[in-house]
């Protein structure tokens, strides 16, 4: 089970029209795939996100020389070692080694984890609400209408990137037009202080179809988060960029969140990622994974969610939704997993259970030129 080959696939796509959130407009999308091959021919795929030049350097100069010759069965040791150097690349290696372990056992990833508790998992449509022109509000409403026609009834939109009055006008228009048909989440990407976040309370109080308010404040401000939980009357969520279970534990102890949102490409180890899901269950709060940055990573989030026990004993079939990127992003087609009526059926094939589109990866392979 020695690893004899490591292939890397840095991918870049320049958006035809920039879109974004409170952190600014995005001119491109990128992701980084890896493939590990063992001496017996078993392959495993992984994915991570980050600045492509830094990822390329990390893999070429340190990670690949370390991985080659390692026993793929020593997943914990390998991932922990790489994680001590680079957290995000470790997530890709963790996925790939998990894929190999499942294939070697003749199991799906869910089978490796003890088997799924459900055959399908709900997803919510995730939008980047801002564009570079003055028609951003109408464009946003059009995107939501298109998602609704595709069967999505759970939606997430961005706030915090415009003045409060503009964002509130957008949300009022959205609710007036679609509020009877959808559940809605707001995502501020940590752009407010507590006073500005609480200014949303009068508007929030007008509707009852809210899913959550995501990261209204900078992370680690646990006491202001707890204040917003009490003041706003809407579930508060967060944690997409948190890399360690102990930080989630601190947030839970400070009663900062109603919903945890770990991301498989930001937590450096799938085992630790699944531990965060269990932490939420032990704390009796919900967990709705963030998966904006990767299509293969989204698969692993869906598989973990399929294996997670229900969040409420009063609703034995209930499970929280996983993020589903609705923006212009060809990388979501690399893995042939589709949502139908807001649900994704979990594949049962060996390993990750899906064939990645290598031709598409070759087409979008980054050539090493500047893109920022």
Q: Any idea what the Cα angle at residue 341 is, between residues 349 and 48, rounded to 5°? A: 50
Alpha-carbon distance of 100 to 69, in angstroms, equals: 15
Alpha-carbon distance of 322 to 64, in angstroms, equals: 32
Query: 158 an active-site residue?
Result: yes
Q: Is 119 helix (H, G, I), strand (E, B) or coil?
A: coil
Nearest to 174 by CA among 146, 200, 145, 197: 145
Q: Is 145 helix (H, G, I), strand (E, B) or coil?
A: helix
Distance of CA 362 to the CA centre of its chain: 24
Alpha-carbon distance of 251 to 258, in angstroms, equals: 10
Catalytic choice (86, 156, 158, 266): 158
Catalytic choice (86, 170, 266, 290): 290
CB 85 within 8 A of CB 270: no
CB 353 within 8 A of CB 45: no
Measured between alpha carbons, how far is residue 311 from residues 48, 114, 217, 307, 317 in Å? 28, 18, 25, 12, 9
Q: Any idea what the Cα angle at residue 92 is, between residues 114 and 89, rounded to 5°? A: 140
Query: 290 an active-site residue?
Result: yes
The residues annotated with a catalytic role in the active site are: 158, 290
């Amino acid at each position: 089970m020695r690893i004899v080959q490591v292939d890397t696939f840095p991918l870049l796509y320049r958006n035809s029209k920039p879109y974004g959130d409170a952190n600014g407009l995005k001119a491109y999308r990128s992701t980084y795939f890896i493939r590990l091959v063992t001496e017996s021919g078993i392959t495993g795929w992984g994915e991570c996100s980050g600045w492509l030049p830094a990822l390329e350097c990390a893999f070429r100069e340190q990670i690949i020389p370390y991985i080659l010759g390692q026993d793929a069965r020593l997943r914990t040791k390998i991932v922990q070692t790489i994680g001590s150097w680079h957290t995000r690349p470790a997530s890709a290696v963790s996925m790939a080694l998990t894929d190999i372990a499942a294939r070697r056992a003749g199991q799906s990833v869910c089978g490796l984890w003890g088997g799924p508790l459900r055959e399908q998992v709900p997803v919510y449509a995730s939008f980047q609400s801002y564009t570079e022109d003055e028609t951003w509000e109408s464009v946003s409403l059009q995107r939501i209408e298109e998602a609704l026609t595709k069967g999505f009834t759970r939606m997430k939109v961005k706030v915090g990137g415009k003045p409060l009055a503009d964002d509130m006008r957008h949300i009022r228009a959205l609710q007036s037009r679609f509020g009877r048909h959808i559940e809605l989440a707001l995502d501020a990407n940590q752009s407010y202080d507590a006073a500005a976040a609480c200014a949303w309370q009068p508007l929030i109080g007008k509707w009852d179809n809210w899913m959550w308010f995501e990261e209204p404040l900078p992370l680690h401000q646990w006491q202001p988060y707890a204040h917003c939980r009490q003041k706003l009357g809407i579930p508060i969520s967060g944690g997409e960029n948190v890399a360690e279970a102990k930080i989630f534990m601190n947030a839970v102890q400070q009663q900062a969140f109603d919903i945890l949102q770990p991301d498989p490409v930001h937590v450096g180890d799938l085992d630790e990622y699944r531990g965060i899901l269990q932490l939420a269950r032990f704390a009796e709060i919900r967990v709705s994974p963030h998966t904006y940055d990767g299509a293969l990573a989204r698969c692993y989030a869906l598989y973990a969610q399929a294996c997670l026990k229900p969040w409420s004993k009063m609703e034995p079939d209930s499970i929280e939704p996983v993020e589903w990127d609705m923006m212009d992003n060809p990388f979501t087609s690399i893995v042939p997993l589709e949502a139908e009526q807001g649900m994704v059926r979990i594949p049962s094939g060996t390993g990750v259970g899906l064939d990645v589109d290598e031709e598409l990866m070759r087409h979008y392979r980054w050539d090493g030129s500047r893109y920022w």
